[in-house]
Chains A and B, each alone.
Chain A
Amino acid sequence: MEVLSPYKEATEAIVEAGGEPLKLCYQCGICTGTCPWNLVRGFIVRRIIHEAQLGITDFGSEEVWLCATCRACVQRCPRGVEIIDVMRAVRRAVVSLGIGIVPDALRISAKNIAGAGNPLGEAPERRGDWARDLGVKKFSPGTEILYFPCCIPAYDPDVKRVSQATATVFNKLGVDFGILGTEERCCGEAIRKAGYEDTFHSLAESNINTFNRNEVKTIVVSSPHCYHTFKNEYPELGGEFQVIHIAQYLAQLIDQGRLKFSKEINKRVIYSDSCYLGRHNGVYDEPRKVLQSIPGLELIEFPDSREDALCCGGGGGRIWMETVKGERFSDIRVEQALEKGAGIIALTCPYCFLNYRDSVLTMDKSEIIQVKDISELVAEAM
């Protein structure tokens, strides 16, 4: 039988990397039972925490990289253990101390982000290209709103639909907005969760400087990940901005009577809560409110929604890592949507968008179900 001895130094390394909350864990296992990974494969979250408590963490294990930071476990934890912080700390220990193995796909994305400011390795000078034909102005001091699209809607040929729809809606309504295009860099939320603390800091500092230099006060974002880090993490580094997710902003426009619809969307639409809008930031009602305001649209719910919504699998840097067929949460989600007879899955997150799009394609269901961002639906109905 393998005999283990506690290794204090390893625990200390994890605690120093921000894993302090692990001390509180009393090993009840509700995290394991709550974790979506256990729908598709074994992932004993509790054991990871216990191993970290004793310093016997297997830094070489692929389990280090599984957590999608969906926060379902943290929400239920009876001792208030910030399990995501522990997971992130273990990853930081691997990345910064060079113990263990960083998955190739993640390493490449991290390199791209550090180098080009986006995970796709696209040229920074082409970051504003998505808006080229839309008459979007560059943000300058005095502009009311900075629209920050996130790397994926800025570059991905398919997901560009999201940023373009947003700009179209804004233009139609006469919203005073601009973009910073080539000056933006990735927000850094996911790469931080993946353990690259230094990369995050340099991205955040660069963005904060850019925003301050341009006298940015209000930022509207398409990604809940940008939303989360701008709102909750940038202030630690001195970046204080008013941050609004597009779903919230659209809901405000409806409330103010500025946004009105003239077309019907006669579809059954199922809304998928994104983890970073929902569980991380408590925004559940606004996206639903926007969808329900669209004439003809029938809004339905997943069996698990709001606080209990199933993650798409894309948080915590998972979006850049390979998830084998049969283990993709978004596949389960698409099946659930099909069972409910939905024609459209409505989303509020570019990561969800990528995962759901891939699931629909690989499951060969694109004939019967579509994946759309909430801004696209709004643009269509105007």
Chain B
Amino acid sequence: MDEFKPQIIAFTCNWCTYAAADLAGTSRIHYPPNVRIVRVMCSSMVNPMYVFKAFESGADGVLIAGCHLVDCHYIDGPVKCDTMFARLKKMLHTLGLEDERLRHEMISASEGVIFAQVIREMVEQLKKLGPSPFKIRREALV
């Protein structure tokens, strides 16, 4: 059997975490290739629907990452994101998804190293958890 390669969708804010991922690139900080980044303008733009969609279509983990509270380009986006995230987490929990599959991080534009670290950690964690229950169910039905 092939080794399980978890798929991660990362919603990153344009100003901080997307730039942090750029910095990781510019600094050639390698991290596992399991992540696909979706650029949003602000972490507060992430609709819970996007996260559901990601899990529904086969992601094993989702990262929502934006600025630190003081850095936000839109002043208080991370606060709004936090509120949304708390609700989302509960909903996913009810649906039987492990808490560790959804992660919220604040990674500033200068923290390329931290971005890479978070991805490494998530991949490790997801490898331990195995494929998403959504994915397993879907594959069983198909």
A and B touch in the complex (CB under 8 A): no
A residues apposed to B, CB below 8 Å: none
Chain B interfacial positions (CB closer than 8 Å to A): none
